[in-house]
Structure 1
């Protein structure tokens, strides 16, 4: 069930396309990395219901 959830998709408005939850986690990690290196302020993904 967990793998099925990771493969399901949602609309990621920042890049204007559907991404899987697995990809979403990776994108959030990239944003955190930039934040820790002082390149950008981290703004978390907020799901719109």
Structure 2
């Protein structure tokens, strides 16, 4: 089963957005985690 990197990034962004709405204090951690994940996916060559 192939999962598109675009789908993964979209799901991460959606979950992060919902988490920010629920707990705005998490914004810094969510943005940092998103950037790390997207950077890692790009370096690995999945994107």
TM-score category (smaller protein): 0.3 to 0.5
Higher-strand-fraction structure: 1
Higher-helix-fraction structure: 2
- Highest RCO, 1 vs 2 (Cα 8 Å, sep ≥ 6): 2
